[in-house]
Amino acid sequence: MGTITHTFVSPVVDAGDPNKVGPDEWNATHTITGTFPPDVTAQSYNRIVNGAMQHSQENGNTAGTVTGFHSADQFYGNWVSSGTFTQQRVQVMTPNGSKDRIRLTVNTADTSVAAGDFLGFQTNIEGVRLADFLYGTASAKQSILRFGFKAPAGTYSMSFRNSAANRTYIANFTISAGQANTDTEQTFVIPGDVTGTWLTDNGIGGMIFIAMALGTTLHGTTGWQAGNFAGTSAISNGMGTAGNVFELYDVGLYLDPQNSGVAPRWTMPDYGQELIACKRYYSVFRVSGRFTATGGQNVAHSIVFAPSMRVSPATAIASGGARLNFTAIALPAPDNTGGRLELTSAGAGDCYAINDICSVNARM
């Protein structure tokens, strides 16, 4: 809390002439004193990319049935299990007014969770976005994680880990019978970790995993600890019943340097700015080229990534447009700023590729 005192001077009206104020008559002072909180919440800057699930460049609203499938940019379902699952982005309005969320559905149940089994949602955060958390130092700062979650009744876990997966913070949360399959908001205060190695470059600065089922090798205790864990033994087996549905939305991670313990009001990310942030990790764009060949020839065009990507990406080009007289189209060995699109003709004559789809992947 802070105290602000403000003093100002006002004129004294001449008693003989109400319209006159003399230079010696600016002598009345007024003081206002108040106590005001300097910070009532954590900072509003959200360190999560695409927390409102606004963008899904790779898969749109298509469902996927494999682990690691990005149903939204920077978010994916992650599992090891004998069960089967479907994940996708769906358009269901959240309590905050976001129009998108991601959903994971249990198709075939896994009723006997093996020691190394797990099921959950995951997002990885680049180190440059968490550098001012000062993790791994004596000055490590508190943060607040919050997310929207819809699930069957049960106990679930949230974990925050470093890139080496040898430092873990765990907290449990419970969906009561009355909250089952309804939208809830979960909020966690995470103390700063004063030990361990936390990347502050373009590597993984932190991994958030929201677990719905865990085998025993991933059981730890609540709070900070050494090791690679994702929850505690109190967790329910969320993949034990076919038809179980889990939904995640409106995810935020905020620095809380004043230890307020209060998450800021949810703010919808700017759609365009959030897309730019997503394109640092994955981007889809159209490529075109045309030339007249006298035989089997190669022509190259420059490609510039905007924005620059996190690291030199892996690339893939799939035909989505019109092609004529080509044997190959490639974007070999680009760096994080761009590369050289190579078009190779099949023979003499007109050669073109129009609006082919190129994807570049620099995810963590």
- 201-256 per-position pLDDT tens digit: 999 999 999 999 999 999 999 999 999 999 999 999 999 999 999 999 999 999 99
Boundaries of CATH 2.60.40.2080 in the chain?
280-361
The answer to whether residue 197 scores a pLDDT higher than 60 is yes
Where do we find the tokens 């602000």? Answer: 4
Give the C-alpha separation, 333 to 310, whole Å. 15
- Mean per-residue pLDDT of the chain: 92
The CATH class for the domain spanning 76-277 reads: mainly beta
Topology of the domain comprising 280-361: Immunoglobulin-like (2.60.40)
Q: pTM for the complete prediction? A: 0.88
Which amino acid is located at 40 in the chain? V
**269 forms bridges with which residues in the sheet?**
none
Can you tell me the distance from the alpha carbon of 63 to that of 92, in angstroms, rounded to the nearest whole number?
Answer: 15
Question: Minimal CA–CA distance to 225: which of 167, 172, 171?
Answer: 167
CATH 2.60.120.260 intervals, the chain = 76-277
Condensed to tens digits (0 to 9), the pLDDT of residues 42-65 reads 999 999 999 999 999 999 999 999
Task: Please identify which residue in the block is written with the tokens 């998108």.
Answer: 100
Q: How many of the other CB atoms lie within 10 Å of CB of 6?
A: 9
